[in-house]
Amino acid sequence: MSELLTAAQMRTAENTATDAGQVTGLELMERAGRGVVEAVFEEWPTLAASRHKAVVLCGPGNNGGDGFVVARLLKEWGWEVEVFLYGDAAKLSPDARVNYERWLCLGTITSNESLEGGYLSANFDLVIDAVFGTGLSRPLTEDAWLFCKEMYKAGIDVAIDVPSGFCSDSGRFLGESRSDFEGPLSVALTVTFERLRQGHALLPLAGVLRACAVKSIGIDQYLPDFRRETSVSYLSGQARIGASRKAVLNSTAQSSSHKYSHGHTLVLSGGAGRTGAARLSGRAALRIGAGLVTLGVPGSAQMEVASQVTGIMLKRVDSKEDLSGILEDERINVLCLGPGLGIERAGGLVPVAVAAGRACVLDADALSAYEGRPEALFDLVTETCILTPHGGEFARLFPDLAAKLNAPSLDGPAYSKVDATREAAARAGCVVLYKGADTVIASPDGRCSVNSALGERAAPWLATAGSGDVLAGFIAGLLARGFSPMSAAETGAWLHVECALSFGPGLIAEDLAEELPKVFKRLCS
Ligand SMILES: NC(=O)C1=CN([C@@H]2O[C@H](COP(=O)(O)OP(=O)(O)OC[C@H]3O[C@@H](n4cnc5c(N)ncnc54)[C@H](O)[C@@H]3O)[C@@H](O)[C@H]2O)[C@@H](O)CC1
Ligand SMILES: [K+]
């Protein structure tokens, strides 16, 4: 269950299932409502044991329909339930209408005038959001916002499918940000169906969700064929590291093969006083399993680096010619450039490094050196390269994509970080890893993954100086071990978060690579 779905993919699956006569929309709605109640009792078992008071806020579409089902089921369970409706009951979608009428056999619809003045927070144990789901196609209208705002102010306990107002493909709140609500936005439990939606893994929505439950509504067989290139994988949870990757990682701890059979990574360092970043990358590459790591250092920094490293070799690299000379050694199969490299030095060395045809991680200054002339970089790089920009570097290389991503989203589905990273990879012609707590990795052929450090994998302490240098080193080390660029980026990013979670708060960048043995031991046991 590691794929993320777009609203369109889910809708297609639902339609295929109903067109095939396997199930009706009404039955799917019943299963969805039942799934929500099940998830609530699983999350808070004490709620199942006694009577409580719930309020369900329903919208005009099928999300609202799910809400009417939940209201009925909780009422039948013995709870006190109130229901609010946004919109005109006469215009409800047909399935929602059926469930609205079923609800009216058990209860009433409370007038929306009661919503104001803290009514929700004062009167209910559980506030359930069934206003809008995956059908939200435009920013909330003013009256829709007024309705939803009361719910946000009270704090949403349960959001059905997606918290209302957020786009389930992009994780973005549609429209301009609301100056009349300052949050904090937080949703205790979000219940969705069959798979997480893409937006559940992306910021800002992913930062709002405290827990997500995924419930089956029996249409798994109608979901897209995830072996196709259009799917987006979700790298989260303990089970996300595939058997083959695990085997290779396992061998890093046990192998008796010759060091050169595990690859040789060359990390290029900046000058005196700026060598720490490359040292972090080098150490990370070594820890993750590169057989050998060499730091390419300018003469002025040789003493500084020599006094700091053990287990890593040093080579003097002052010029392009020095680098070309070193690369005559064909056992060097990976280069890592950027951390602490300096813009000027990067501008000189990147073309030589990339032209050597080895696998290549380009990070930090190796990317910033191409600000204003990104095409020059895209002309150079090949499919053996990986670009690992953070937000600022991404905007330097892909200013138009960054602008699209940052512009207010006026239509759903909104342009997402997945869209931007995929476009970037296609344009650059290589794997792009767009960093963040919601790291997105895309390859030029359209394959894409999201690696999350949010929700159950939240590791805010990972946002520490030097953390990105370690990630570049992890990826370089995995490339040295023979991982493909996409696989190296995915596995490196996943392990990066695992190390942070394993270490916990107080982490500094130096700790990340040192935590790897513990993470490997757990993975391989
Ligand atoms: N289609 C199906 O078979 C199933 C759908 N399910 C539920 O149905 C939801 C999707 O249902 P819908 O496609 O009906 O969409 P929604 O219920 O999410 O919203 C659509 C309704 O909201 C209105 N609307 C959209 N944007 C608005 C805005 N900015 N301001 C005011 N009104 C706006 C639309 O006019 C429409 O009436 C899912 O999220 C899920 O909860 C589940 O019941 C499972 C089965
Ligand atoms: K909702």
Split the chain (525 residues) into runs of 10 and give each run's mean pLDDT.
Answer: 89 96 96 98 95 97 98 98 97 97 98 92 96 95 93 95 96 82 84 96 94 96 79 74 63 60 94 96 96 96 90 95 97 97 98 97 98 98 98 98 94 95 98 98 95 92 97 97 95 96 97 95 83
Q: How far apart are CA 321 and CA 51, in angstroms?
A: 77
CA-based nearest residue to 487, from 499, 496, 479: 479
DSSP 125-160: SEEEEES--TT--SPPPHHHHHHHHHHHHH-EEEEE
Is 108 annotated for ligand binding? Answer: no
Q: Going along 303-445, which residue ranges are E strands? A: 313-316, 332-337, 359-362, 385-387, 431-434, 438-442
Q: Which ligand is nearest to the CA of 56?
A: 2
The 3 state secondary structure assigned to 363-391 is CHHHHHCCCCCHHHHHHHCCCCEEECCCH
Find the 188 Cα to ligand 1 centroid distance in Å. Answer: 21
Q: Of 85, 132, 192, which is best to mutate to test ligand 1, by the most ligand atoms within 8 angstroms of its C-beta? A: 132
513 with 279: CB under 8 angstroms? no
Q: Which two tokens stand for residue 283?
A: 């150490």
Fold of 3-233: Rossmann fold (3.40.50)
Q: Which ligand is nearest to the CA of 144?
A: 1
CA-based nearest residue to 21, from 180, 185, 222, 179: 222
pLDDT at 238: 53
pLDDT at 309: 86
Considering only CA atoms, which residue is closest to atom 9 of ligand 1? 63
**Residues with CB in 5 Å of ion ligand 2:** 129, 133, 159-160, 164
| CATH architecture entry for 260-405+460-524 | 3-Layer(aba) Sandwich (3.40)
245 with 491: CB under 8 angstroms? yes
Does residue 139's CB lie within 6 angstroms of at least one atom of ligand 1? yes
Does residue 175's CB lie within 6 angstroms of at least one atom of ligand 1? no
Does residue 60's CB lie within 6 angstroms of at least one atom of ligand 1? yes
pLDDT at 241: 65
Is 437 annotated for ligand binding? Answer: yes
Considering only CA atoms, which residue is closest to atom 13 of ligand 1? 135
Q: How far apart are CA 204 and CA 390, in angstroms?
A: 16
Q: Of 136, 168, 205, 216, which is best to mutate to test ligand 1, by the most ligand atoms within 8 angstroms of its C-beta? A: 136
Considering only CA atoms, which residue is closest to atom 5 of ligand 1? 62
Q: Which ligand is nearest to the CA of 61?
A: 1
Does residue 169's CB lie within 6 angstroms of at least one atom of ligand 1? no
Residue ranges of the domains in the chain? Answer: 3-233, 260-405+460-524
CB neighbours of 9 closer than 8 A, spacing ≥ 6?
223, 224
Q: How far apart are CA 351 and CA 103, in angstroms?
A: 68
Give whole-number Cα distances, 346 to 223, 238, 388, 444, in Å.
46, 37, 15, 24
Does residue 61's CB lie within 6 angstroms of at least one atom of ligand 1? yes
Q: Of 26, 63, 128, 160, which is best to mutate to test ligand 1, by the most ligand atoms within 8 angstroms of its C-beta? A: 63
CA-based nearest residue to 131, from 66, 70, 194: 66
Q: How far apart are CA 119 and CA 130, in angstroms?
A: 18
By three-state DSSP, how is residue 315 classified?
Answer: strand
Q: Of 36, 134, 205, which is best to mutate to test ligand 1, by the most ligand atoms within 8 angstroms of its C-beta? A: 134
Sign for the pseudo-dihedral over CA of 481, 483, 488, 491: negative
Find the 96 Cα to ligand 1 centroid distance in Å. Answer: 10
Find the 487 Cα to ligand 2 centroid distance in Å. Answer: 35
Does residue 267's CB lie within 6 angstroms of at least one atom of ligand 1? no
Does residue 86's CB lie within 6 angstroms of at least one atom of ligand 1? no
ipTM: 0.97
Q: Which ligand is nearest to the CA of 162?
A: 2
Ramachandran angles phi, psi of 297, nearest 5°: -120, 140
- Taking the CA atoms of residue 392, residue 394, residue 397 and residue 399 in that order, the dihedral angle to the nearest 10 degrees is -80
Find the 247 Cα to ligand 2 centroid distance in Å. Answer: 41
Q: How far apart are CA 471 and CA 388, in angstroms?
A: 9
CA-based nearest residue to 290, from 255, 323, 325, 317: 255
Considering only CA atoms, which residue is closest to atom 27 of ligand 1? 136
Does residue 66's CB lie within 6 angstroms of at least one atom of ligand 1? yes
